Amino acid sequence: MMPARRRFTKRVATSFLLCLPLSLGVVTSAIAQTKGRDVSIGLQAAITSMDPHYHNLSPNNSMMLHVFEGLIARDENQKLKPALAVSWKATDDLTWEFKLRKNVRFHDGSLFSADDVVATLKRAPNVANSPSSFATFVKPIIDVKVIDADTIVFKTATPNVLLPSDLASVMIINKAYEKSTTEEFNSGKAAIGTGPYKFGEYVPNQRVSLKANYGYWRGEEPWDKITFKMLTNPAARVAALLSGDVQMIETVPTADIAKLSADKKLSLVDKVSNRVIYVHLNQSTEKSPPFVTAKDGKPLEKNPFRDARVRKALSMAVNRDAIVSRVMEGKAVAAAQLLPDFFYGTSKQLKPVKFDPEGAKKLLAEAGYPNGFAMTVHGPNNRYINDAGIAQALAQMYTRVGIDIKVETMPSSVYFTRATKLEFGYMLLGWGTESGEQGSAMRSLLATFDTAKGMGVTNRGRYSNPAFDKLLAAALVTMDDKKREAMIIQAAEMVMGDVGLIPLHYEVSTWAAAKGLKYTARTDQYTLAMSLKPGN
Amino acid sequence: MLAYFLRRLSQSALVLLAMSLIVFLGVYAIGNPIDLLVNPQADEVERVRATVALGLDKPLYVQYWTFLKGAVTGDLGRSFVFGVPALDLILSKMPATLELALFAMVLAVFIGIPLGLVAGLKPDSMVGRGIMAFSIVGFSLPTFWVGLILIMFFAVQLGWLPSNGRGDTVLLFGVPVSFLTVDGLSHLFLPAVNLALFKLSLLIRLTRAQVREAVLQDYVKFARAKGLSPSRVIGVHILKNIMIPIVTVIGLEFGSVIAFAIVTESIFAWPGTGKLLIDSINQLDRPVIVAYLMVIVTLFIAINFVVDMVYSLLDPRVRLGQAAGAGH
């Protein structure tokens, strides 16, 4: 006779084993069902909130565009197009007039009007606990005047050419929810927008479900229900697509692109993005910058990076084509400036610096370093596509021109803090230009560092060129679009000729979808359900 | 008994305090979360505003003191990234992790111990040797790789099971659980197997070693001589006597399964606390990291307490409250 405990254990084990085939049988049939007009999309980065004014973060901004809209929208090349505003113009240097769209309804049925814009502008810079607020976009507006239900006038303190572009990032909320907290948006109570989809469910760090807004003013969307799943692990994301759990994924891992392209059940699209991978050279110190020494380890007499010839040599030593084809497996475009040349403010004359190791050695000798020097290449290892691989490739290229190299990569949580404190000499970095025009990118990365004026905020190289600063500052207050573009192009040609920083390449973003779905790729790397349509 | 309990409680409080201090200092030393959170296109004014909003402009000891004051009332700060109270965030994800951990431990215990018994009782047979070979494979293969293989095979190739996420949940005593629905079980199965594999192998080997030792003891020979049936000898005498080290290991491993199911949760996109922790570390979301570690330490302390209680039930010689080191 078996003791009761042992018999119980045996019973439990047996019944468990018997249950398995039953559950598998039921499960198989469940997965085989298709869902009609429902779609699941796998995202690479998690969003942090459903409050459109809480966190100025790309994944959040991309998600918000489904439920909310701004006065202005950006198309797949980041060009501005009308959304809740039908037209806008600068009536003088300090005044902008926006004409609003009529007969647009929020998800709760209320009519959109200028009062909602006023409420939005009050709320956007003041959300509690915001780690990165929208204040920068809204601050320049010092006065708001509602002329009538669909005309609104903004006054700025100084000429602000980027106001329409900045407002494209601010989502309009319903005035009834002006005082709502982030928690109320996360639960859906306040997440009432005018966008093509309505809030369904938000599970932090896991998924977002949305349902169609059948009364959307732009017309009917192809999807009834969308589920966004946050699949940060790249292998899991690919597996989810292959097993049919999701019908589209973003950020296909480079190593899997070849295999997925060959798969008949999938279609891949890619597009060059607004993200440039570049190198900042630390010019802040008189003598040796950190981690740069003579070959025998002694500090150098003067900072080699302050010499334009050395910077040019370091740019010529880089074989951009090899990085693009070998490290990035073709998913990159060699860069000559901060944005691909179809963006506003980019020069069609600038071409990527030619790979010329002999020329680089000659320039280094001219500058007084015939035997080179020693430096460490620093970069992140979990932030940009193949960042660690790029750093190593760069190191090998510099060894060829006679520079002794060490490579050090680290997680972004450590890297960016130290890079901002200028603890490195040669820094691998990336920059995604949200405004879609080169002037603001140059202002952040290349203008002389001046926190009071808000210039050069991310100029970690501390590059400083007064002539360039003057030209750029004048361009940024020129309201005429054509004149301003010519000035920005001139400034870009000046600063790239002087090698203010070393542009390497623009990242190409890849999306993979099930056959029968077509995704219109975007330069801002956003994944929008509105750009996904059935068809080929 | 009461004295013993109070002593344990005060020891636990000290451990918690030390842990919070270490983590606070540690995360502070890694880097500045502002560099990761604030949009790089924003200006200096925005950086200063964010720094003040998150309380990072104050000196470290002031931040720690504010944290301690809040901790006593149950407020462990607000997540820098999500803006919601850190403790709420962790507790909302705990049920998923606990469910996965429990399911994995159940698999490991109910498969591992019987297999270990068989391997111990018949060490030189094909079955016994086969089980031992399996256990070596089980703890040698990296969890990451096994998880991917399971997904590849069962989800992608065969399409029997979903590749990620948690299934439908129902409320059980107010806590959402997914093992009561078929969809939930199908999502739970692969991650639980992935997590259980290592523990399973460990338990097989441990049980086998214990059984090999027990079978040679005099009391087993005596029980056999007395004429007791083999199932009674194994099930009552041997099993009960080998349980103490096994219970210790189960307790420790259960704690580590809950705390560090990170790899499995990442691969299977299981919405638990492990995934939350690794993301928070990458983003330097200090309130969540500290809150998480405090919750885990509390859990470990509770599990160890339960294990000690179970000792006293299993081994009548053990008296709680004796000098440290009492019991086996």
ipTM confidence: 0.81
Banded pLDDT at A205 (limits 50, 70, 90): confident
B67 touches chain A (CB under 8 A): no
Which one, of A277, A286, A317, A332, lies nearest residue A509 by Cα? A332
Least confident range of A253-267, B34-48, B266-280: B34-48
Rounded Cα–Cα distance for residues A20 and A465 (Å): 71
Q: Are B79 and B277 within 8 A, CB to CB?
A: no
Q: What is the pTM of this model?
A: 0.84
Q: Are A527 and A256 within 8 A, CB to CB?
A: no
A132 touches chain B (CB under 8 A): yes
Check B183 against A30: CB less than 8 A apart.
Answer: yes
CA distances from B145 to B50, B157, B197 (A): 40, 16, 12
CA distance A412 to chain B (A): 8
Check B279 against A414: CB less than 8 A apart.
Answer: no
A232 touches chain B (CB under 8 A): yes
CA distance A399 to chain B (A): 31
Average pLDDT over residues A218-226: 90
pLDDT of residue A34: 35
pLDDT of residue A8: 60
Q: Over 60: is that where the pLDDT of B76 sits?
A: yes
Name A466's Cβ contacts closer than 8 Å, sequence gap at least 6: A448
Q: Are B94 and B295 within 8 A, CB to CB?
A: yes
- What tens digit of pLDDT does each residue of A68-95 get? 999 999 999 999 999 999 999 999 889 9
B121 touches chain A (CB under 8 A): no
CA distance A301 to chain B (A): 31
Check B269 against A231: CB less than 8 A apart.
Answer: yes
Rounded Cα–Cα distance for residues B230 and B224 (Å): 8
Average pLDDT over residues A99-115: 93
Task: Please classify residue B66 by burial: count the beta carbons closer than 10 Å to its beta carbon, then call 0-12 exposed, 13-18 middle and 19+ buried.
Answer: middle
The three state secondary structure string of chain B is CHHHHHHHHHHHHHHHHHHHHHHHHHHHHHCCHHHHHCCCCCCHHHHHHHHHHCCCCCCHHHHHHHHHHHHHCCCCCECCCCCCEHHHHHHHHHHHHHHHHHHHHHHHHHHHHHHHHHHHHCCCCHHHHHHHHHHHHHHHCCHHHHHHHHHHHHHHHCCCCCCCCCCCCEEECCEEECCCCHHHHHHHHHHHHHHHHHHHHHHHHHHHHHHHHHHCCHHHHHHHHHCCCHHHHHHHHHHHHHHHHHHHHHHHHHHHHHHCCHHHHHHCCCCCHHHHHHHHHHHCCHHHHHHHHHHHHHHHHHHHHHHHHHHHHHCCCCCCCCCCCCCC
Of A31, A204, A239, nearest to B152 by CB-CB distance is A239
Tokens 């995360």 sit at which residue?
B27
Q: Over 60: is that where the pLDDT of A136 sits?
A: yes
In chain A, what percentage of residues exceed pLDDT 70? 93
Q: Taking CB atoms and an 8 Å cutoff, what residues of chain B touch A411?
A: 282
> What is the four-CA torsion angle of A403, A405, A410, A412, rounded to 10 degrees?
0
Rounded Cα–Cα distance for residues A237 and B164 (Å): 9
B159 touches chain A (CB under 8 A): yes
Q: Crossing angle of helices A412-420/B273-283, nearest 10°?
A: 20
Q: Which residue has the higher pLDDT, B64 or B1?
A: B64
Q: Over 80: is that where the pLDDT of A4 sits?
A: no
Of A3, A28, A414, nearest to B30 by CB-CB distance is A414
Q: Are B110 and B63 within 8 A, CB to CB?
A: no
Question: Looking at the DSSP assignment, which residues form a beta bridge with residue B56?
Answer: none
Average pLDDT over residues B60-83: 87
Q: Are A232 and B279 within 8 A, CB to CB?
A: yes
Task: Please classify residue A292 by burial: count the beta carbons closer than 10 Å to its beta carbon, then call 0-12 exposed, 13-18 middle and 19+ buried.
Answer: buried
B268 touches chain A (CB under 8 A): yes
Rounded Cα–Cα distance for residues A418 and A460 (Å): 11
Check B282 against A412: CB less than 8 A apart.
Answer: yes
Which one, of A329, A311, A279, A272, lies nearest residue A430 by Cα? A279
Q: Are B191 and B268 within 8 A, CB to CB?
A: yes
pLDDT of residue B322: 53
Rounded Cα–Cα distance for residues A262 and A265 (Å): 9
* Mean pLDDT value across chain B: 86
Least confident range of A4-8, A402-406, B59-63, B122-126: A4-8
Of B32, B49, B235, nearest to A3 by CB-CB distance is B235
CA distances from A56 to A59, A133, B136, B251 (A): 9, 6, 49, 44
Question: Looking at the DSSP assignment, which residues form a beta bridge with residue A270?
Answer: A510
Check B43 against A182: CB less than 8 A apart.
Answer: no
Dihedral of alpha carbons A450, A447, A276, A309, sign: negative
Structure tokens that stand for A81 in this block:
């197009």
Q: How far is CA B297 from the centre of its chain?
A: 11
Q: Are A172 and A112 within 8 A, CB to CB?
A: yes
Which one, of A240, A507, A295, A432, lies nearest residue B268 by Cα? A240
- What tens digit of pLDDT does each residue of B147-175 get? 999 999 998 888 888 888 888 888 888 78
Q: Over 50: is that where the pLDDT of A24 sits?
A: no
Rounded Cα–Cα distance for residues A140 and A165 (Å): 13
Q: Over 50: is that where the pLDDT of A250 sits?
A: yes
CA distances from A266 to A31, A262, A263, A510, B111 (A): 19, 8, 6, 13, 40
Q: Are A153 and A97 within 8 A, CB to CB?
A: yes
Rounded Cα–Cα distance for residues B188 and B194 (Å): 10
A87 touches chain B (CB under 8 A): no
Q: Are B190 and B161 within 8 A, CB to CB?
A: yes
Q: Taking CB atoms and an 8 Å cutoff, what residues of chain A touch B89?
A: 204
Q: Are B100 and B261 within 8 A, CB to CB?
A: yes
Closest chain A residue to the Cα of B54, Cα to Cα:
A129
- What tens digit of pLDDT does each residue of B257-288 get? 887 688 899 889 888 888 888 888 888 898 99
Check B229 against A1: CB less than 8 A apart.
Answer: yes
Q: Are A318 and A504 within 8 A, CB to CB?
A: yes
> What is the four-CA torsion angle of B6, B11, B14, B19, rounded to 10 degrees?
-130
pLDDT of residue A5: 60
Rounded Cα–Cα distance for residues A41 and A288 (Å): 49
- What tens digit of pLDDT does each residue of A268-312 get? 999 999 999 999 999 999 989 999 999 998 999 999 999 999 999
Average pLDDT over residues A198-225: 91
Task: Please classify residue B3 by burial: count the beta carbons closer than 10 Å to its beta carbon, then call 0-12 exposed, 13-18 middle and 19+ buried.
Answer: exposed
Rounded Cα–Cα distance for residues A456 and A360 (Å): 28
Check A131 against B54: CB less than 8 A apart.
Answer: yes
Check B163 against A236: CB less than 8 A apart.
Answer: yes
Check B151 against A239: CB less than 8 A apart.
Answer: yes
Rounded Cα–Cα distance for residues A284 and B289 (Å): 35
Average pLDDT over residues B18-32: 85
